[in-house]
Amino acid sequence: MNPSTAVAVSGLTVRHRRTVALDRLDLTLGPGVHGLLGPNGAGKTSLIRVLATVAAPSSGRVELLGADATSHRERTAVRRRLGYLPQEFGYYPAFTVREFVAYVAWLKEVPAGRVPEAVERAVRQVGLADRIDARMKTLSGGMVRRAGIAQAIVNEPELLLLDEPTAGLDPEQRVDFRALLRELGTEATVVVSTHLVEDVAAACTDVALIESGRLAFQGTTAELTVLGGESADGDDSTTHAVERGYTAALRAHRAPARDAKEALR
């Protein structure tokens, strides 16, 4: 595995009973902020869960930060080096934000002497410094989400996995969060699964597009934009250009299957 490669999966297959969520997926990711896009049910969350080591693949190879994630010993070690925010996460409502983030720092085996500083840094980065001693049950939905982001970054992870991180954030908070992502991406590999193309356009250096459990496109946001061509109505904003590229990449990926079906008619 290349030292600059944080994620390398090959032939990754994930099955949920009779449903194939990921179908022999190959994907390699290095430092930077990577947007993970795709229609509902495409397999994005299944991929994030495997990368976070909370779900096991049905088959295939998964290497994270140079470690074999299918090995129990190596998987335990790599968990200390990654951060993960699922779409929904649990917490003790009576915990304060400080206690919640400190608890996760303890789980990640952050040295005890570093925990107070690490907690305050993470909470400050997500804009909750003034609520650090508020109980989790008193927070708004957007604040809870920001506390979730804080716990994901408290150990300064080398690999950060975020599943729909901006859900519940207001527009101003989303702008601040995108800036944080760009900052984190200078030192780590950040993977952001989202439905919001504007988040990808504003914060991501690269895009991986998954369709029906397979990789439909991987490249820079600029390359995805080129696929979309020029707007018929003259709207060439970055967000709309990426949206057009997203649609074009999906259609190109679906074309062989559609042509095969038509050939059988």
- Domain assignment present for residue 220? The answer is no
Structural domain boundaries enclosing 143: 89-157
**If 0-12 CB within 10 Å is exposed, 13-18 middle and 19+ buried, where does residue 229 land?**
exposed
- Domain assignment present for residue 152? The answer is yes
Task: State how far the Cα of 148 lies from the Cα of 240, in Å rounded to an integer.
Answer: 29
Looking at residue 18, its pLDDT comes to 87
- Domain assignment present for residue 40? The answer is no
- Domain assignment present for residue 150? The answer is yes
Looking at residue 3, its pLDDT comes to 58
pTM of the model: 0.90
Report helix, strand and coil shares of the chain as percent, to nearest 5: 45, 25, 30
62: helix, coil or strand? strand
Looking at residue 262, its pLDDT comes to 53
Q: What is the pLDDT of residues 20-62, one digit of tens each?
A: 999 999 999 999 999 999 988 899 999 999 999 999 999 999 9
- Domain count for the chain, please give it: 1
Using DSSP bridges, classify how beta strands 7-16 and 59-64 pair: parallel, antiparallel or unpaired: antiparallel
Looking at residue 153, its pLDDT comes to 97
- Domain assignment present for residue 184? The answer is no
Looking at residue 70, its pLDDT comes to 85
- Domain assignment present for residue 72? The answer is no
Looking at residue 73, its pLDDT comes to 86
- Domain assignment present for residue 110? The answer is yes
Residues of the chain with pLDDT under 70: 1-3, 230-238, 257-265
- Domain assignment present for residue 251? The answer is no
